[in-house]
Structure 1
Amino acid sequence: MKITVIGVSTGTGALLASLAHEQGHEVTALSRRGAAPAGARALSGDALAPGIAAEAVAGADAVVVTVGGAKGVPHQRAAVTRAVVTAMQAAGARRLVVQSSLGAGDSGSQLPGIVGWAMKTLLAKPLADHDEQESAVVESGLDWTLVRPTGLTNGHASGAWRALEPSEQGTLRGSISRSDLAALLLDVLADDSTIGRKLGVSAR
């Protein structure tokens, strides 16, 4: 599969690009610094700059957005995601997976009482960015999946996680390692049953 990862300087995006390459996929990695694991095609640039997102998604079978916020730049995630969606629509690329956050959109019910309140209060600005980002994805007309992790850690991969949609009973607590999240994102890419779904995820 030809996979483009948007946001690979550090964290989940870097781990995903590396894992996808190790599993034999053809990876294009876009970041401002041009960071990419060995064997991946590295693109350097801002996805909001003219032509950069289009170059990144050209020929891709699937695109994953794992961008974080940018200091002093409000709604960075939403802006980058909209640029990627527009580029995919123009290129005829269909499969899109976006890393959001638990607490965004309709996922508040998946957080246990006081935790949900605290997140909505303390993380109001980043969650507003994710809300806008998710709206751009849902309205895109693409074959999308939203993945909403709980807190992220740099722990080792366990190979096990829990995934719930808002309509399912239960809550998610704790955190998930970035390594496990990268593996889950790669699994989601290959699973068409996840298209149109919003998955809250945590460690099992």
Structure 2
Amino acid sequence: MKITLIGGSHGTGAALASRAQQAGHEVTIVSRSGGSVPGARVITGDAAEPATAAEAVSGADAVVITVGGAKGKPLQRTAVTRSVVAAMEAAGTRRLLVQSSLGAGGSASQLPGFFGYVTKVLLAKPLADHDQQEAVVQRSTLDWTIVRPTGLTDKEPLGRWTALEVTDEGKLTGSIPRGDLASFMLEALEDDWTIGKALGISSR
């Protein structure tokens, strides 16, 4: 599979790029800084720009968006996602996976008690961006999956996780290593069950 990672030069995106290549996939990384992962093709540019987005999705079987915020751009995630979705729809590229955050889209209810309230207050600005980002995805015609991790760490992967929809029973607590999130995301790309779903995920 040819996978394009928007924001894949570091963090979860870089972990996913490495795992995807180990699994035999071809990886293209889009990075504003030009950073990359060994063995991956790199496109230097801002995917919020239509030309960059069009180049990024051309020929891809799947696209993953893992971008973070940007200084002075309060809705950077939304801008990138809107541009990429438009490019995918124009190119006929169907499969999209987007990394959001637990707390977005009403998912604070998946956090136990006080933690849900604190998350909404402390992360109000990034969650507002994620809310709009998710709305762009859900209004699209694409085969999309949204992944909402709890707190992320750079600890060694545990090789396990819990993934729940808002309508499922149970709560999500603690954090999740980026390596485990990346492994889950790669599995989700190949699992049609995840299409049209927004999944909260943590190590427990």
Q: Is the 8 A contact 2:50 2:83 kept in 1?
A: no
Structure 1 residue aligned with 2:172: 172
> 1:9 offset after TM fit, Å?
2.5
C-alpha separation in 2, matches of 1:186 and 1:106: 25
Query: Which amino acid counterpart does residue 122 of structure 2 have in structure 1?
Result: L
Q: Is the 8 A contact 2:163 2:201 kept in 1?
A: yes
Pair 1:193-2:193 in alignment:
yes
TM-score (norm 2): 0.98
Pair 1:25-2:21 in alignment:
no
Structure 1 unaligned regions, length at least 5: none
State, as a whole percentage, how many aligned pairs show the same letter.
64
For the residue of structure 1 that corresponds to 2:104, the secondary structure is coil
With 33-42 and 72-81 compared, the bigger mean Cα shift is at 33-42
TM-score (norm 1): 0.98
Within 5 A, what are the aligned runs for 1:39-58?
39-58=39-58
C-alpha separation in 1, matches of 2:194 and 2:138: 13
C-alpha separation in 2, matches of 1:86 and 1:140: 9
Query: Which amino acid counterpart does residue 77 of structure 2 have in structure 1?
Result: R
> 1:50 offset after TM fit, Å?
3.6
For the residue of structure 2 that corresponds to 1:4, the secondary structure is strand
> 1:108 offset after TM fit, Å?
1.7
C-alpha separation in 1, matches of 2:201 and 2:48: 29
C-alpha separation in 2, matches of 1:116 and 1:109: 6
C-alpha separation in 2, matches of 1:143 and 1:129: 21
Q: Is the 8 A contact 1:17 1:36 kept in 2?
A: no
Within 5 A, what are the aligned runs for 1:75-86?
75-86=75-86
C-alpha separation in 1, matches of 2:108 and 2:51: 36
For the residue of structure 1 that corresponds to 2:55, the secondary structure is helix
Within 5 A, what are the aligned runs for 1:104-123?
104-123=104-123
Structure 2 unaligned regions, length at least 5: none
Structure 1 residue aligned with 2:144: 144
For the residue of structure 1 that corresponds to 2:179, the secondary structure is helix
C-alpha separation in 1, matches of 2:34 and 2:94: 25
For the residue of structure 1 that corresponds to 2:172, the secondary structure is coil
Query: Which amino acid counterpart does residue 74 of structure 1 have in structure 2?
Result: P
C-alpha separation in 2, matches of 1:166 and 1:50: 33
> 1:92 offset after TM fit, Å?
0.2
Query: Which amino acid counterpart does residue 129 of structure 2 have in structure 1?
Result: D
Q: Is the 8 A contact 1:145 1:194 kept in 2?
A: yes
Q: Alpha-carbon deviations, 1:51-80, whole Å to 9, x = none?
A: 101001101110000000011211110110
Q: Is the 8 A contact 2:108 2:119 kept in 1?
A: no
C-alpha separation in 2, matches of 1:14 and 1:155: 15
For the residue of structure 2 that corresponds to 1:51, the secondary structure is helix
With 157-166 and 42-51 compared, the bigger mean Cα shift is at 42-51
Structure 1 residue aligned with 2:156: 156
C-alpha separation in 2, matches of 1:120 and 1:49: 30
For the residue of structure 2 that corresponds to 1:200, the secondary structure is strand
For the residue of structure 1 that corresponds to 2:105, the secondary structure is coil
C-alpha separation in 2, matches of 1:120 and 1:168: 20
C-alpha separation in 1, matches of 2:186 and 2:35: 19
C-alpha separation in 2, matches of 1:25 and 1:181: 18
Q: Which aligned runs of 4 or more in structure 1 are off by greater than 3 angstroms? A: none
